[in-house]
């Protein structure tokens, strides 16, 4: 068993690491402070091929693999988790389901603009009464001639205010519950689409999250993805992809926090010596390192399984659970090690700690991941 990355994957890591150092780290703190999305940086990410990474060149992709994309999410999230999740949603939850399930015509229409960064994607599934219980969604889509008429409200739509293209899920047959759910590609300019409340968040503050509203929204019938009733399956597969992306985000946050902590303990002195020489702190950091290594192996394994056509739903759940718990653990310990300085905004660790929390919640809470894992154990 060879755990070494391929050269092309290492090249992606080096490219993204250099890009992050030059373009993302300098703006991450200010973006968190203002809550403004760094659109110019995202466009530069697209310009160097990051959005295109895991897709075929037939549609404007880079013929890379999902593991290379996961590495990119990881490296970006070390510096700015808000950009990490925006990138992940764009790739995993919008472009990926189009790539996997859309018709050839839909792929050729929508993927080139998404993969080039000309347009940004979002994912509309969660509703006020349909979070963990996706089947509780009430949004409807009724066929009327050449259009589906969508009505409903979606909550917590990451990229909502800046998205051009959205994967949206609605009931085409309310009598069938989740089996009556269908998937649609919605453009922001479709009549009846609008943005609702913009969310004021504890963390990932530069990521743009909002309600998306559909009031007699007219969606051309050719924008139905797959067949009527296949929406739940499409949504679940998209979430499997997204969970690997969020796992990579959590992994990156944890790695970034540990890097910042190591820099600090090498120069901070107490009682006449650098504080890393105190066994208590050194052992805390050993635990942090171990949890990161465990998470990294699970994240990369899930991505590898996806790349190799191996069922990966359970691996994605394990990776998401382990990596996001590691993010919360490592950032909390990092703040503790820095003491008062860790709590202050002069250092990035308090931001990383705030960012880490949401990773345990979105794209399926970590309790849901335990349901997925245990469900597979007792089939």
Please pick, among 153, 211, 305, 363, the residue that the annotation labels catalytic.
363
The structure tokens listed for 24 are 């993302």
Alpha carbon distance 318, 305 (integer Å): 13
- CB-facing half-sphere around the CA of 122: CA atoms within 13 A: 27
378 Cβ neighbours under 8 A, 6+ residues apart: none
Q: Which helix (H) or strand (E) holds 77?
A: helix 66-79
Report the candidate in 87, 208, 231 with the shortest Cα–Cα distance to residue 148: 231
Q: Which helix (H) or strand (E) holds 83?
A: helix 81-88
CB–CB of 135/178 below 8 Å? yes
Q: To the nearest 10°, the Cα dihedral for 254, 256, 261, 263? A: 160
Determine if residue 46 is left, alpha or beta; phi over 0 gives left, psi from -120 to 50 gives alpha, anything else beta: alpha
Q: To which residue do tokens 């996706």 refer?
A: 134
Alpha carbon distance 349, 197 (integer Å): 29
Concerning whether 363 is annotated as a catalytic residue, the answer is yes
What is the Cα 136 distance to its own chain's centre?
Answer: 23
Residues annotated as catalytic (active site), given as ranges: 363
């Amino acid at each position: 068993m060879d755990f070494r990355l391929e050269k092309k994957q290492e090249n992606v890591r080096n490219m993204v690491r250099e890009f992050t150092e030059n373009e993302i780290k300098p703006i991450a703190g200010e973006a968190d402070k203002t809550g403004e999305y760094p659109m110019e940086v995202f466009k530069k990410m697209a310009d160097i091929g990051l959005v295109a990474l895991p897709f075929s060149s037939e549609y404007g992709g880079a013929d890379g693999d999902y593991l290379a994309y996961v590495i990119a999410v990881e490296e970006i999230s070390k510096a700015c988790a808000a950009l990490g999740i925006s990138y992940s949603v764009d790739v995993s939850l919008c472009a990926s389901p189009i790539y996997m399930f859309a018709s050839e015509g839909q792929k050729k229409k929508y993927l080139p603009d998404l993969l080039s960064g000309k347009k940004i994607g979002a994912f509309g599934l969660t509703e006020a009464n349909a979070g963990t219980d996706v089947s509780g969604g009430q949004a409807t889509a009724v066929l009327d001639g050449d259009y589906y008429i969508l009505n409903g409200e979606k909550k917590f739509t990451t990229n909502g205010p800046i998205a051009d293209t959205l994967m949206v899920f609605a009931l085409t047959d309310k009598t069938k519950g989740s089996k009556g759910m269908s998937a649609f590609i919605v453009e922001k300019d479709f009549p009846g689409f609008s943005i609702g409340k913009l969310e004021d968040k504890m963390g990932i503050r530069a990521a743009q999250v909002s309600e998306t509203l559909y009031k007699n929204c007219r969606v051309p019938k050719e924008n139905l993805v797959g067949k009527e009733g296949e929406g739940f399956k499409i949504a679940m597969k998209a979430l499997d992809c997204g969970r690997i992306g969020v796992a990579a985000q959590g992994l990156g946050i944890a790695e970034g926090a540990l890097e910042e902590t190591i820099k600090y303990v090498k120069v901070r002195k107490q009682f006449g010596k650098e504080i890393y020489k105190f066994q208590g702190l050194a052992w805390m950091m050993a635990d942090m390192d171990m949890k990161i290594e465990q998470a990294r192996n699970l994240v990369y394994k899930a991505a590898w399984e996806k790349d190799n056509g191996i069922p990966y739903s359970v691996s994605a759940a394990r990776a998401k659970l382990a990596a996001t718990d590691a993010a919360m653990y490592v950032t909390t310990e990092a703040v503790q090690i820095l003491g008062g300085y860790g709590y202050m905004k002069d250092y990035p660790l308090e931001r990383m700690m705030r960012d880490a929390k949401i990773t345990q919640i979105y794209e399926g809470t970590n309790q849901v991941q335990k349901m997925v894992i245990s469900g597979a154990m007792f089939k």
